[in-house]
Structure 1
Amino acid sequence: MAKIIGCIGTSHVPTIGVAYDKGRQNDPAWAPLFEGYKPVAEWLAEKKPDALIFFYNDHATTFFFDMYPTFALGVGERFPVADEGAGLRNLPAIKGNVDLQCHIAESLVNDEFDLAIFQEKPIDHGCASPLPLLWPHEPDWPGAIVPIAINVLQYPLPTALRCYKLGQAVRRAVESYPEDLKVVIVGTGGLSHQIHGERTGFNNEEWDLEFLRQLQFEPEKLTKLTHADFVRLGGAESVEQIMWLAMRGAMPEKIRKLHQNYYLATTTAMTVALYEEGEETPQAAASQQAAHAPA
């Protein structure tokens, strides 16, 4: 049977992809970000998962506001990486696993999640920005992606609780898949940021770190927050944190944090965190978090 072996939360800032493509990994402004992903990439290289299930959002690249689905799942052997205005990226098309994607789609619909299904559509920075920092890609990606897009752009949005339940349903889908596959769940977006309006450039480091604490130990508290709560605490675009809750919902009750990097260098608090099943005390996690807290 397929098994979820861990989960990753990551920002998906488009400038990460631009900096990566321009070889700026060692620039002083970018090095702390790229260094923060190396332990996660090493963990993935060691564990060799067969598939990454990506909860991400499309930024009006494949879907537009005249037809923007609440939840959409990609089914296909390949998905092109979108050109979002900076030119085509030197990345291979994202590889899929049609059998696994179809099984998850069917399982989610039977679990009363009404999905849109897309094929051969381009995938933008919501997935493609962090992906090369996690997986090597020459000459090709080492495994498949199951892309699950969540609407965090056009209201009404799915609630935090609904996204958490989506993650739980994805776990049931994976665990009912008959092939012995190793699967990692990736939740993308956020954390605190706002890129328009009077609060442009807003960040809340205290809330970001508290969100990460609750995500690990008290995710149910986060499911009670409204979209207005997320916007107030972290800025308009921080509502993307509901995609981290989808990731968390796919994990068991107790998880332990293997790595966390928090770097506030642009308008977004760029964050990556890695978790496995297991027990960890809040005190131990707080000690680790303090060691990685922003100066």
Structure 2
Amino acid sequence: MAKITASVYTSHVPAIGAALDLGKDKEPYWQPVFAGYDFSKQWIKEEKPDVIFLVYNDHATAFSLDLIPTFAIGTGAQYAPADEGWGPRPVPTVQGHPELAAHIAQSVIQDDFDLTIVNRMDVDHGLTVPLSLMFGNPPQSHFEWPCSVIPFAVNVVQYPVPSGKRCFELGKAIRKAINSFDQDLNVQIWGTGGMSHQLQGARAGLINSDWDNRFLDRLISDPAGLAEVPHIEYVREAGSEGIELVMWLIARGAMEDVAGGKPAKPVHRFFHVPASNTAVGHLILENQS
């Protein structure tokens, strides 16, 4: 049977992708950011996931104000890097896993979560930057990501957005769905976005390191309590774009300890300010069999 072995949490700052693509990752400003992922790159080589269920938000690329699904699962065979206004990132096309994605959609919808099923879309930096941080950009000689990816887009751009509690409960349903798939697959679930930042208005540039680190503490030790945090606290304490952090609760809800298993094991934690105008957070949790 398929099994979720770990969850990964990371910011998906677009400037990080640009720094990698333009060869600026060794510059003094960027080097501390990328150093925080050195452990992660080695770890994921050893873990060798077959599939990554990657929770992210689209930035008005695949979806516009004309059509905004709250939760959308990619069930297609592949997804091209999106052109976000300056050309597509020079990274490989993402290969999907239609069989597992369709199974998850069937199971989760039957568990009363309404998903939009997407068979064709391009994926923006919200999905490709986390892949680059964890794997590095693949060389031209072997230009492909090392595993399949199921994109799962969450609306955290246009209000109303889903609550942290709703996201946490959805993670539980996703875990149930993956564990019932009848292929032997090593699956990881990733939550991306955040941490604290605001891109506009009088508070543009807001970063709240204390709140971010308390969020990481509670994500590890008190995820159910963290799921009760209301939207207004995210906006007040972490900025208007800090609401992206509810997506981390989907990944956290899919871990075994939430369903009565052993405590999730933290194997890596990283926090850095700034990267562009954002706080960068990163965490890896492993399930303990």
Does the TM-score normalized on the shorter chain lie above 0.5? yes
8 Å CA contact 1:8, 1:272 repeated in 2: yes
- Alignment partner, residue 229 of structure 1: 233
Q: Deviations over 1:113-146 (max 9, x none)?
A: 1111112210011111121221253321111001
Match of 1:270 among 257, 266, 280: 280
Match of 1:57 in 2: 57
Q: Give the Cα separation in 1 of the matches to 2:197 and 2:5.
A: 30
Q: Quick one: distance in 1 between partners of 2:88 and 2:195?
A: 27
Partner of 1:133: 133
1:257 counterpart = 2:266:
yes
Q: CA deviation at 1:213?
A: 0.3
> Runs ≥4 in structure 1, deviation > 3 angstroms?
none
- What amino acid is aligned across from residue 252 of structure 2 in structure 1? R
1:289 maps to none
- Matched to 1:271, the amino acid is G
Instruction: Choose from 169, 191, 194 the match for 1:190.
Output: 194
Q: Distance in 1 between matches of 2:135 and 2:19?
A: 16
Does the alignment pair 1:216 with 2:217? no
Return the alpha-carbon distance in structure 1 between the equivalents of residues 70 and 23 of structure 2: 35
Contact kept? 1:192, 1:234, Cα under 8 Å: yes
Percent of pairs identical after alignment?
A: 43
SS in 1 for 2:36: helix
Q: Secondary structure at the match of 2:182?
A: coil
CA separation in 2, counterparts of 1:224 and 1:148? 22
CA separation in 2, counterparts of 1:90 and 1:209? 33
Matching residue's letter, 1:267: N
Name the residue aligned to 2:41: 41
Contact 2:56 2:193 in 1 (8 A): yes
> How far apart are residue 260 of structure 1 and its match?
1.2
Partner of 2:152: 148
- CA drift of 1:278 comes to 4.3
Answer yes or no: is the 8 Å Cα contact 1:80–1:120 preserved in 2: no
Give structure 2 stretches of 5+ with no counterpart.
Answer: 258-262
1:171 CA displacement? 0.3
Q: What residue identity is the alignment partner of 1:156?
A: P
Long gaps (5+) in structure 1: 280-295
TM-score (norm 1): 0.92
Query: Which letter does structure 1 place at the counterpart of 2:117?
Result: I
The match for 2:208 among 204, 211, 216 is 204
In the alignment of these two chains, the number of paired residues is 279
